[in-house]
Amino acid sequence: MHLYTQSASPNGQRVEVFMKEKGVELSMTQVDIRSGENLGDDFLAKNPFGRVPTLELDDGTYLSESQAICRLLEGLYPEPNLFGATPQELAVIEMWSRRVEMNFMMSVAQCFRNSTGFFKDRERCSAEWGEIAGEAARDAAARLDAHLANNQYLVGDRYSVADMTLAIAVGFARNVGQDYFDLPNLARFHGEVTARPAFQS
Amino acid sequence: MHLYTQSASPNGQRVEVFMKEKGVELSMTQVDIRSGENLGDDFLAKNPFGRVPTLELDDGTYLSESQAICRLLEGLYPEPNLFGATPQELAVIEMWSRRVEMNFMMSVAQCFRNSTGFFKDRERCSAEWGEIAGEAARDAAARLDAHLANNQYLVGDRYSVADMTLAIAVGFARNVGQDYFDLPNLARFHGEVTARPAFQS
């Protein structure tokens, strides 16, 4: 297997931290998103949606979407379990992963892209939507903070892929000027998760 | 188990079609989203993110997010398999589910909500973003249509939960004035999937 990625991106980080949690190493090629290499014909042949990371499998097919790549690695390298071991645990971890991604991380990304025009060479931006998405991200962060007041991790004391995603999203948000460290439980959680060996470079 | 849902919503439909594919029946309560019942204290105690469907489990806890509810049902009622049977199949189906949800369905929903102001009593809208989201939905639909030119379903001839979501999203889009039936492969796909017994009321 061979990973096409951009290690500086939050989705790139998700796959690399997951690999470290599993003790898996993969050969990698960095894709230059800033210059739009991911939108060129060579890369679109690997992923018609133009996103990194994308994993080339041993049968020559390509697998995209960070969470799908992590789920493949979970199946191939079952220990330590990060997606859940029983039907109920698998479902609850999926629920938290989706709350983190769709309510928080996606709002952070839409705020960033629309407010800063970081990708304005390739996408239309709306400053108004950037502001609305920022409010949605803040709202989701507050709900996550309230939950973490009574839970070490998103699923009680059970560390999972959802925690990894949230910690990376909170760090990414800070890097792009959206600071959620005033929320004490989220700040405590971020410190604890990013102290794990898998988060060290 | 008891399902709190809104059967007319696309996410409500996803869980109910999935139940029919599995031959599972659940008792249900309809939640009146239009009047904001999902944002009242009673419902927020079940799901602090205020979304339907939400499933009450036999242990008294609540599980939200359609895909997480479907994944629980997959674990409890394994046949017919809709999420994948091997690590690679689980991952590829997850990839397509996410492409459908995040690139297409979410753009359709953001276009609908921002263009029509359907929920303007409870959320800020941006007509400009409604237009941009509509363009993103069209772009994603075209990529899906191109893939379906050479594939019966999203994962070759292997019907999965990702197909169910796409067919429901395409139907929802048409209901809210976003018509993708000019894309021939997507139209063929929609007709074939919605002819399944699980899609009949």
- pLDDT of A107 reads 98
DSSP chain A: -EEEE-TTSHHHHHHHHHHHHHT---EEEE--TTTTGGGSHHHHTT-TT--S-EEE-TTS-EEESHHHHHHHHHHHS-SS--S-SSHHHHHHHHHHHHIIIIIIIHHHHHHHHHHH-TTTTTS---HHHHHHHHHHHHHHHHHHHHHHTS-SBTBBTB--HHHHHHHHHHHHHHHTT---TTSHHHHHHHHHHHTSGGG--
Mean pLDDT, residues B185-192: 98
Task: Supply φ then ψ for residue A175, to 5 degrees.
Answer: -60, -25
User: Can you give A143-160 as a three-state secondary structure string?
Assistant: HHHHHHCCCCECEECECC
Decide if A126 and B129 are in contact by the 8 Å CB cutoff.
Answer: yes
* Closest CA of chain B from A90, distance in Å: 7
* Residues of chain B positioned with their CB less than 8 A from the CB of A65: 94-95, 98-99
Nearest residue to A74 via CA among A15, A29, A27: A15
pLDDT reading at B201 higher than 90: no
Mean pLDDT, residues B79-86: 98
pLDDT reading at B179 higher than 90: yes
Q: pLDDT, tens digit, for every residue of B88-128? A: 999 999 999 999 999 999 999 999 999 999 999 999 999 99
Q: Are A166 and A137 in contact (CB under 8 A)?
A: no
Q: Which residue in B has a C-alpha nearest to residue A87's C-alpha?
A: B75
**DSSP state for residue B155 in the 8-state scheme:** B
Query: Distance between CA B54 and CA B169 in Å, rounded?
Result: 19
Q: Closest CB to B98: pick one of A65, A75, A90.
A: A65
Mean pLDDT, residues B133-142: 98
Residues of B with CB under 8 A from a CB of A: 48-49, 57, 63-65, 67-69, 71-72, 74-76, 86-88, 90-92, 94-95, 98-99, 102-103, 106, 114, 124-126, 128-129, 132, 135, 140, 143, 146-147
Decide if B71 and A92 are in contact by the 8 Å CB cutoff.
Answer: no
Going from the first residue of chain A to its last (201 residues), give the mean pLDDT of each consecutive group of 10, the final group possibly shorter.
97 98 98 95 96 97 98 98 98 98 98 95 96 98 98 97 98 97 98 98 83
Question: What does pTM read for this prediction?
Answer: 0.97
- What is the Rg, in whole angstroms, of the alpha carbon atoms belonging to chain A? 17
Q: Closest CB to B129: pick one of A48, A71, A128.
A: A128
* Residues of chain A positioned with their CB less than 8 A from the CB of B106: 102, 106
- pLDDT of B91 reads 98
Decide if A71 and B48 are in contact by the 8 Å CB cutoff.
Answer: no
Residue at token pair 């995040």: B102
Interface size A-B, in CB pairs within 8 Å, comes to 107
Q: Which domains does chain B have, with CATH numbers?
A: 2-76 (3.40.30.10), 87-199 (1.20.1050.10)
ipTM over 0.90: yes
Average pLDDT, chain B: 97
